[in-house]
Homo-oligomer: A and B are copies of this chain.
Amino acid sequence: MKLYEKFADDIERLIRQGVYRHGERLPSVRQASQQHRISITTVLHAYLLLESRGLLASRPQSGYFVNLERADGERQMQDLRASKPIAVSSTVDVSRLVLSTLRSIGSGDAVPLGSPYPDPVLFPFEKLNRYAYTAGRDKTLWSLTNALPPGDPRLLRQIARRHLENGMPVDPNEIIVTVGATEAINLCLQAVAKPGDVIAVESPTFYAMLHAIERMGMKAIEVSTHPEHGIDIGELAAIVKSQPIAACMVMPNFQNPLGFQMPDERKRELVEFLAAADIPVIENAVYNELYFGDAHPSSLKSYDRKGLVLHCSSFSKSLTATYRIGWALPGRYRDQVEKLKFLNTLATPLVPQLAIAEYLERDGYEHHLRRIRKAYAQQANLMRAMVSRFFPEGTRISSPAGGYVLWVELPAKVDAMHLYQLALERGITIGPGYMFSISGSYRNFIRLNYSSPWSRRIEEAVIEVGKLVASCAR
A residues apposed to B, CB below 8 Å: 95-96, 99, 102-103, 105-107, 112, 115, 117-121, 123, 125-126, 128-130, 132-133, 136-137, 139, 141-148, 179-180, 182-183, 186, 190, 194-195, 208, 211-212, 214-215, 217, 316, 320-324, 338-340, 342-352
CA distance A342 to B340 in the complex (A): 18
CB distance from A207 to the nearest CB of B (A): 10
Which of B121, B148, B324 is the one whose CB lies under 8 Å from A349? B324
Would B95 and A321 count as touching, CB distance under 8 A? no
Interface centre among A137, A217, A323 (most CB of B within 10 A): A323
Contact, CB under 8 Å: A141 / B186 = no
Indicate which residue in B125, B130, B345, B347 contacts A345 across the interface (CB closer than 8 Å): B345
Q: Are B320 and A347 in contact (CB under 8 A)?
A: no
20 A-B residue pairings within 8 Å (CB atoms): A95-B342, A95-B343, A96-B339, A102-B148, A106-B143, A106-B144, A106-B145, A118-B144, A128-B136, A132-B132, A133-B136, A142-B321, A143-B321, A143-B322, A144-B316, A146-B322, A179-B179, A182-B344, A214-B343, A344-B344
Contact status A180-B117, CB under 8 Å: no
- Known contacts A125-B139, A139-B125, A323-B349; is A145 also within 8 Å of B180 by CB? no
- Min Cβ gap A271→B in Å is 28
Q: Are the CB atoms of B120 and A142 closer together than 8 Å? A: yes
Closest B residue to A105 by CB, please name it.
B145
CA distance A342 to B97 in the complex (A): 12
A129 touching B133, Cβ below 8 Å = yes
How far is A32 from B126 in the complex, measured between Cα atoms in Å? 57
Report the nearest B residue to A183, measured CB to CB: B345
Contacts of A190 in B (CB 8 A): 215
Q: Are B107 and A145 in contact (CB under 8 A)?
A: yes
Q: For A128, list chain B residues within 8 Å (CB).
A: 136
Q: How many copies does the complex hold?
A: 2
Cβ contact within 8 Å between B217 and A194 = yes
> Could you tell me if A148 and B347 are in contact, using CB atoms closer than 8 angstroms?
no
Residue of B nearest to A119 (CB): B143
- Chain B residues closer than 8 Å to A338, beta-carbon distance: 99
The residue of chain B having its C-beta at the shortest distance from the C-beta of A350 within the complex is: B322
CA distance A346 to B123 in the complex (A): 20
Scoring A107, A129, A352 by chain B CB atoms within 10 A of each residue's CB, the highest score goes to A129
- Indicate if the CB atoms of B339 and A99 lie closer than 8 Å: yes
Q: How far is the CA of A208 from the CA of B179 in the complex (A)?
A: 18
A345 touches B195 (CB 8 A): no
Kindly list chain B residues whose C-beta atoms are within 8 Å of the C-beta of A342: 95, 99, 102, 211
* Shortest distance from the beta carbon of A185 to any chain B beta carbon, whole Å: 10
A343 to B343, CA, bound (A): 16
